Structure 1
Amino acid sequence: MKFAKMHGLGNDFILLARREVPPDVNQLAVTLCDRHFGIGADGLVFILPSEKADVRMRIFNADGTEAENCGNAIRCVGKYVYDHALLSKSNITVETLAGLKELTLHVEEGRVKSVTVDMGLPILNGREIPTLLEGEMIVNHPLRIGERELSFTAVSMGNPHAVFFVEDLNSFPVEEIGPLIEHHSLFPARTNAEFVTVENRREMTMRVWERGAGQTLACGTGACATLVSGVLNGLVDREAILHLAGGDLLIRWDEESGHLFMTGPAVLVFQGEWEPES
């Protein structure tokens, strides 16, 4: 089984170009993503044929669960299909469980260096995110986790996010609080959790606990959800740089269309062949 190991800001993935997803895909994701006995990654990504778009992406977390979308993974998909000559154009569409996404590939010397993704409209209705809360928007809502009184803003980018603004991100216990939020009863499909410090109206620093993967170095959908949350709370402008543990993403929330646009790198680490017998 030929694969490519890629990452977007350290959020790393195993990419497989296939005709279809194998029946044992959930266990396969667990096996391949294991960092000691497998290839090692935050997720397993399949690049598949599509009847609606240029290609279709399905992504499975390191725990075997399937995600609706992933901003860092979809940039890697864009680079893969162009650099491997599966597609020759720099504007492509990708089918995901969160709908069709349009990608603009920024090519230098015949290789994709960065990708801008139209991430679409944010979902703000409490039930649709989903949460168990009613309301058109869930903004700065209180949430008690253990002895901590926190507040969050809920956004879906096709996958659910709970964004928490904190004063001191460096001392915030992401590894402790993250799983408690992911599995909180308020989120029926579990949730991703972002912990954010606002630097100024054009910059935020973010750490993420991803549903099904744990703490990762970056999350593209989470960065988009964070910008939306910052705007809804009156903290930032509609375009800002998100400083993540693995690097920076530029996020813009277009006022006219309401769509979010994410620009960031995609990197090929290595390619190889996995032997199932191993």
Structure 2
Amino acid sequence: MTLRFTKMQGIGNDFVIIDARRDGFGLREAEIRAIADRHNGVGFDQLISIEPARDPSCAFYYGLWNADGSPAGQCGNGVRCVAAWLHRDGALAIGETVRLESPSGPVTVRLLSADRVTVDMGEPDFLPANIPFRADTQADRYDIDVGGEMLEVGVVSMGNPHAVVVVPELGSPALFRHGPLLSTHERFPKDANTGFVQWLDRRHLSLRVHERGVGWTLACGTGACAAMAVMRQRGEVDESVQIELPGGRLQIEWAGPGHTLWMTGPAAFVFEGEWLGISGTH
């Protein structure tokens, strides 16, 4: 059986989106990995299914899987693509605000234009047990031994676990060594997305992210949210910050504890296709 899909991207973070509203979603882990293969498959950072909502307060549910077939809890660039996909399908109008259900819970999205979306990503969660992160007490900074080197790390959940490391510049070869090691560090029981952030000024940051289950990506929406949240918690940035990633730019706004964080950025269609390697999954 063929599987129809849409390829989309948000500032270089790319996705395969599957309409599973009628037939449901039944891909196995090995099949997800096969589609993710950039040489023999379609290629993506995450696969997204659009399904009927489980929560009656939400319009639709979207599922998330990493390129290695593992499930993901949230994806900021991905939910913007879901909103743009729903608009093209006729289910969401420009200017409309809608509540969607993610694996980590409901999110609110507002379609600003056909290709620009703002998302309420919820309130950042710094409690170690909720990230999850192994620590005796909550702190703004933690010292972690990463491959024999001590790194100062901030941790937060944006629906998925994040480690944030402030660095003087993003070109250091050490980043490419530390990223994979920190993403799978034993203090993160479910692994983590690792963001290396360079402070430019109080309203501008630059970021590189190594995602769990994916590797280095051109962009990570929740990673941008996490970087801003960690630095806002420390008092190092203002409540509205522009973040530059290799794939493009995101605007992140967070007033602080007690408030939800908002992310604004683009979503783009790449192509439609059919995957012929699926049999007996629906």
Give the TM-score of the pair, scaled to structure 1.
Answer: 0.94
Which residue, 41, 45, 62 being the options, matches 1:57?
62
Cα offset, 1:92, TM superposition: 1.4
| Structure 1 residue ranges without an equivalent (≥5) | none
Deviations 1:176-215 (A, max 9, x none): 2111111111110111100011000000000000010000
Give the one of 28, 33, 37 matched to 2:31: 28
**Shift in alpha-carbon separation, 1:68–1:203, aligned structure 2, 3 A:** same
Post-superposition offset of 1:160: 0.3
How many residues are treated as equivalent by the alignment? 272
Q: Secondary structure at the match of 2:115?
A: strand
Aligned residue type for 2:270: V
Q: Read off the aligned partner of 1:21 and give its amino acid letter.
A: F
Match of 1:70 in 2: 75
1:10 match? 12
Return the structure number with greater relative CO, CA threshold 8 A, min gap 6: 2
Question: Tell me, what secondary structure is at the counterpart of 2:189?
Answer: coil
Instruction: Report if aligned partners of 2:64, 2:103 keep a CA contact under 8 Å in 1.
Output: no
User: Structure 1 residue runs of 4+, over 4 Å off?
Assistant: none
Cα deviation 1:214-265 (Å, max 9, x = unaligned): 0001111111111111112222112100111100100000348510000000
Residue 217 of structure 1 aligns with which residue? 218
Letter in 1 for 2:187: L
Alignment CA distance shift 1:277-1:66 (3 Å): closer
The answer to whether the Cα contact below 8 Å between 2:31 and 2:278 also exists between their aligned partners in 1 is: no
For 1:83 and 1:142, the matched residues in 2 are separated by 46
2:130 alignment partner in structure 1: 128
Q: 1:51-105, CA deviations, whole angstroms, 9 ceiling, x for partnerless residues?
A: 4211101010000000011000000000001112134462111101111000000
Higher strand share: 1
**Identical positions, percent:** 38
Q: Which amino acid aligns with 1:148?
A: E
Task: Tell me if the contact between 1:140 and 1:233 (Cα under 8 Å) persists in the aligned partners.
Answer: no
Q: Select the residue among 89, 100, 114 that pairs with 2:106.
A: 100
2:180 equivalent in structure 1: 179
- Note if contact 2:225-2:252 (Cα within 8 Å) is conserved in structure 1: yes
| Matched position secondary structure for 2:250 | strand
* CA 1:179–1:229: 2 relative to 1, 3 Å: same
Q: Of 110, 113, 116, which residue of structure 2 is paired with 1:114?
A: 116
The answer to whether the 8 Å contact 2:6/2:18 transfers is yes
Q: Distance in 1 between matches of 2:53 and 2:213?
A: 26
Q: SS in structure 2 opposite 1:225?
A: helix
Please, which moves more after superposition, 266-275 or 24-33?
24-33
The range that moved more, 139-148 or 60-69, is 139-148
Q: Contact 1:127/1:134 (CA < 8 Å) preserved in 2? A: no
- 2:85 aligned residue (76, 80, 85): 80
2:13 and 2:247 in contact (8 A); partners too: yes
Shift in Å, 1:26: 1.6
Task: Give the residue type in structure 1 aligned to 2:216.
Answer: Q
Q: Could you tell me how far 1:172 is from its partner in structure 2? A: 4.3
Residue 237 of structure 1 is matched in structure 2 by: 238
Judge conservation of contact 1:239–1:253 (CA < 8 Å) in 2.
Answer: yes
Residues 94-125 of structure 1, C-alpha deviations (whole Å, 9 max, x = no match): 10111100000012xxxx12100000111111
